[in-house]
Amino acid sequence: MSALKNPFSGLMLCSFLVILQCISAEVGKLVCFYDAKSFVREGPAQMSLTELEPALTFCNFLVYGYAGIDDENYKIKSLNPTLTHDRQHYRHITALRQKFPHVRFLLSVGGDQDLDSEGVADSGKYLRLLEQPEHRKSFQASVVAELNNHGFDGIDLSWQFPKNKPKVQQGVFKRVWGSFRGLFSSKSVDEKAEEHKEQFATLLGELRSALRGSGQLLTVSMLPHVSAELFIDVPTVLNNVDFVNLGTYDFQTPERDPKEADLPAPLYEMYDRDPSHNVMHQVQYWLNQTSQISAHKLHVGVATYGRAWIMTRNSGITGYPPIPAANGAAPAGRQTVTPGLLSWPETCELLQQQPKDRDVPHLRKVGDPTKRFGIYAYRAADDKGENGLWVGYEDPTTAALKADFVQAKGLGGVALHDLSMDDFRGQCAGEKFPIMRSIKFKL
């Protein structure tokens, strides 16, 4: 009995007997998503393995994004075989465990990066896989082989379920639609949602049994706008996984909402917005479906990037969201070269910029004294209707507030999307990975 009272022998018991249970009972975890595209990006947004390494001191899990699914045999497949197999990138990532033995390396499937021939994230394949026991079996066997061949510690399913449709966002329409939302949403998204929910839970049970023997991990990441109500049997899913990363970011994006700029990831519900578009609602939904005991399996997703729109002359000059008459995604940043998306160092530079080009002033930052909704920066369109820009983003301070929220709610930790969009070179304030550090400091 005395051994049990001593916290140190408790830890030793853990490490000898039930490593897995001890890990899953921990809180304050930091799950770091690593988008492998960052390794092959051209130009200054390319992140090398040497540049990645300093982050691994802080991450408990590194999630490699992303693998896909073969639509003929439902096996897991690499989305870039030249990189992952010929150039052995999978191996080089998992070999980092030599230097960082505390990190567990997961391979993630889906993540909206498994595209069909039209370049759209393919959900049909992800549903068909669920429907047939032999498809699930084929997937399961291929996952076990892929993990073992490349030295991963587990699999993460960033399953590409169909997403809720964006709502009509115009005046009266918005409200009328809002009140009928419950009636319309489920049918239009997936007629067989009820079956798919059951089959997804079955798939997790099967995977769990296949991975249990080797102590490998099984996790689920919810993608933004995938309805847990439609597709997730919460108690069964939580029972079968080590943790779930919630899709609590990208509630508003230029792709979905080109005409209306708004804060992408508020912590709490905002006036006259979709009541589900905030971190609190998503967390509460999961907590409502299960016991508080499972709260430590829930991780809050936090983005390291901002979402940026073009402001037009009709968008007004106050910058106060929501911004009407936006004109879609803002021009790509210099480093990430992706319209509508700005990495943290790109936003930071726009905030500080000493205009060499005097015609274009830097962005004006607007903080959030309530600490409930998030921050933004903007530059109203000029007299010619040009140079208008609005960006809603996270900085180290707002990310820390989300980590505080996680602690206060007794949740398991934070899932960061992703390391390559943080300031991995320390361009902004000299410190590398400032958003990630700021979260870790709070956890």
Ligand X SMILES: *[C@@H]1O[C@H](CO)[C@@H](O)[C@H](O)[C@H]1NC(C)=O
- Measured from the CB atom, the residue of 288 and 291 that comes closer to ligand X is 288
How many angstroms separate the CA atoms of 254 and 329, rounded? 5
- Measured from the CB atom, the residue of 177 and 285 that comes closer to ligand X is 285
- Measured from the CB atom, the residue of 24 and 236 that comes closer to ligand X is 236
CB of 229 to ligand X, least distance (A): 8
Quick one: which of 48, 149, 188, 284 contacts ligand X (CB under 6 A)?
284
CB of 284 to ligand X, least distance (A): 4
Q: Which stretch binds ligand X (CB under 6 A): 33-41, 61-69, 114-122, 282-290?
A: 282-290
- Measured from the CB atom, the residue of 58 and 231 that comes closer to ligand X is 231
CB of 414 to ligand X, least distance (A): 20
C-beta separation of 223 from 161 below 8 A: yes
Continuous segment of H or E residues that includes residue 200: helix 193-212
- Measured from the CB atom, the residue of 167 and 334 that comes closer to ligand X is 167
Alpha-carbon distance values, 142 to 67, 80, 215, 349 (Å): 12, 17, 17, 44
Coil, strand, or helix at residue 391?
Answer: strand
Number of residues that bind ligand X (CB under 6 A): 4
- Measured from the CB atom, the residue of 186 and 338 that comes closer to ligand X is 186
CB of 276 to ligand X, least distance (A): 7
Edge to edge, what strands does the sheet with 375-379 contain?
Answer: 341-342, 306-309, 389-393, 375-379, 364-366
CB closest to ligand X, residue no: 288
CB of 299 to ligand X, least distance (A): 17
- Measured from the CB atom, the residue of 124 and 275 that comes closer to ligand X is 275
CB of 278 to ligand X, least distance (A): 10
Q: Within 285-314, which residues bind ligand X (CB under 6 A)?
A: 285, 288
CB of 67 to ligand X, least distance (A): 32
C-beta separation of 337 from 348 below 8 A: no
CB of 275 to ligand X, least distance (A): 8
Q: Within 262-281, which residues bind ligand X (CB under 6 A)?
A: 281
Nearest CA to 376 out of 322, 432, 433 is that of: 322
Q: Which stretch binds ligand X (CB under 6 A): 27-35, 78-86, 263-271, 284-292?
A: 284-292
- Measured from the CB atom, the residue of 2 and 288 that comes closer to ligand X is 288
Q: Is 41 exposed, middle or buried (0-12, 13-18, 19+ CB in 10 A)?
A: middle
Coil, strand, or helix at residue 207?
Answer: helix
Q: Within 312-341, which residues bind ligand X (CB under 6 A)?
A: none
C-beta separation of 304 from 279 below 8 A: no
C-beta separation of 49 from 90 below 8 A: no
Site string for ligand X, 104-123 (x = CB under 6 A): --------------------
| Residues 91-111 as b or e (16 or more Cβ within 10 Å = b) | eebbebbeebeebbbbbbbbb
In DSSP terms, which residues pair with 322 in a beta bridge?
Answer: none
298-303 and 413-417 strand pairing: parallel
- Measured from the CB atom, the residue of 287 and 325 that comes closer to ligand X is 287
Number of C-beta neighbours around residue 76 at 10 A: 21
* Residue type, position 389, single letter: L
How many angstroms separate the CA atoms of 304 and 254, rounded? 16
CB of 288 to ligand X, least distance (A): 4
C-beta separation of 283 from 300 below 8 A: yes
C-beta separation of 350 from 363 below 8 A: yes
CB of 43 to ligand X, least distance (A): 42
- Measured from the CB atom, the residue of 281 and 334 that comes closer to ligand X is 281
Residues lying near ligand X in the complex (CB under 6 A) = 281, 284-285, 288
